[in-house]
Amino acid sequence: MKALVNTLRPRAGSAAGPRHAPERGTVVLVRALLLFEAAMYSAVTPVLPHYAHELHAAKPAVGVLAASYPAGIIPGSLLGAWVATRAGVRRTTLIGLLLFAVSIAAFGFGTSIVTLDALRFVQGIGCGFIWGGGLTWVIAVAPRARRGAVLGSVIGAAIFGTLLGPILGTLAVTLGTRPVFILVGAVSIALAAWTVRHPEPPARADGPELTATPLRAVLTNRHILLASWLILLEAATIGATGTLLPLRLARFGGSGVLIGATFLVASLISMQVAGPVGRAVDRRGAGVLVCVGLALTAVLLALLTLPHSAILLAVVSVIALGGPLTMYTIPSISVITEATERVGIPLAVASLMLNLAWAVGETVGAPAAANLSQATSDAVPLLALAAIMVITLRPVIKARLTPPAPADPAPASAESEARIGSEGTMTVHA
């Protein structure tokens, strides 16, 4: 509980004044929302073997269940961006939370794989609404000089949510899916009530002039497209490993507790890495971090094919998923936000690109990996992902993904640094 509180609250002793309290409250709210959403996403991981056994579902069916959530993010992102630009962030967030509350509570009563697929799809739509509103606001309040640190903090909170997800999934397997998911639905209602009491954040007034053709600007900007591809590739990797590794661990005799612990520890490492990676992006740019993250992830994915014992596979899985993916995720997000502002694209479009890239990657990654594994072996999809990452290194090196120097005015930047410094630093005492 202490770790959860310190993840959400600003660091004590900040230089920020009282008049920044509403904005600090907004950041705390968004952290809580993204933490909650991430927990709901990862909660299904330990439950997959349970449903595969109880519903007699084959690997492809389990892959579809895993992919239903990211598939729902695609329409959810489009609708969420549209609602956010017209009705505001608070209403967008409320819609997402209410969708979560209904679909999560009903998920505990699902007795067929098709019903579970549909409910996870609705949860994905809610995710698109929550991220579309929350991430847009966090990007808008962050000064360019510290945007990487702020993004690292927010992503760190979301990663902390993935720590809670496997615990919830393990509890659902142990205590029953109905009581656990009903309780989670109640938490979603409580977050909605908190959101209602929170004021609508003001629009940022110092942004660049917006382009009249944002879609064309996005499709012709190589940095935006490359960074979106990196997010898509990471999501495909998470979707594939989130489907294959629980089943592989179970096949080698791993218990539900071991499966949950594997993903929990991996998320804990990622959470600890997120903050330093974000600060490194601010200091040195994105290029080197993306290259190192891609190379390490490719090597570790290949190594996942070697262990044939549950314990050894769990150890390699923790290393593979724990840090390298985060090393190129946060820099990729930073590249998208910098590029969209530089060419005058609305920040809501940047969030939309992030959500769509993630959703498409996971939607494709989970079922593709499951079907390839069913037809061949687990090694084929894992090695294919590793090869794609190696190939992607060439365009990343050529693109020189280093953000430009901060352009915030000096007085405003100093004030913003004090404010965001208190918001953007995540302190965790495990």
Residues with Cβ < 8 Å from 148, sequence gap 6 or more? 277, 278, 279, 280, 281, 282, 330, 331, 334, 403
H/E segment holding residue 55: none
State residue 425's pLDDT score: 35
Per-residue pLDDT of the chain (430 residues; tens, 9 = 90+): 444 444 454 443 333 334 344 466 677 788 888 999 888 887 887 888 877 777 877 778 887 888 888 889 889 988 988 887 788 778 888 999 999 999 999 988 888 888 999 999 999 999 999 888 878 777 776 767 777 777 777 888 888 887 778 788 888 888 888 888 899 999 999 999 988 887 776 655 444 555 545 667 777 788 888 989 999 998 899 888 888 898 889 888 888 788 878 887 887 888 888 888 888 888 888 888 889 999 999 999 999 999 888 999 999 999 888 888 888 888 888 888 888 877 777 777 778 888 888 888 877 888 889 889 888 988 999 999 999 999 999 998 888 766 544 544 444 443 443 343 333 333 333 3
State residue 303's pLDDT score: 93
CA 90 – CA 423 distance, rounded (Å): 19
State residue 211's pLDDT score: 53
- Report the candidate in 166, 135, 202, 147 with the shortest Cα–Cα distance to residue 351: 135
- Report the candidate in 98, 85, 82, 87 with the shortest Cα–Cα distance to residue 33: 98
C-alpha angle 148/240/69, rounded to 5°? 75
pLDDT one-digit tens code per residue, 86-112: 887 788 889 999 999 999 999 888 888
State residue 4's pLDDT score: 46
State residue 412's pLDDT score: 40
Q: Kindly list the distances between the CA atom of residue 414 and the CA atoms of 210, 410, 417, 420, 428, in Å, as whole numbers in the listed order.
A: 25, 6, 5, 10, 26
Based on the number of CB atoms within 10 Å of its own CB, is 252 exposed (0-12), middle (13-18) or buried (19 or more)? Answer: middle
State residue 169's pLDDT score: 84
State residue 382's pLDDT score: 93
State residue 11's pLDDT score: 43
pTM of the complete model? 0.74
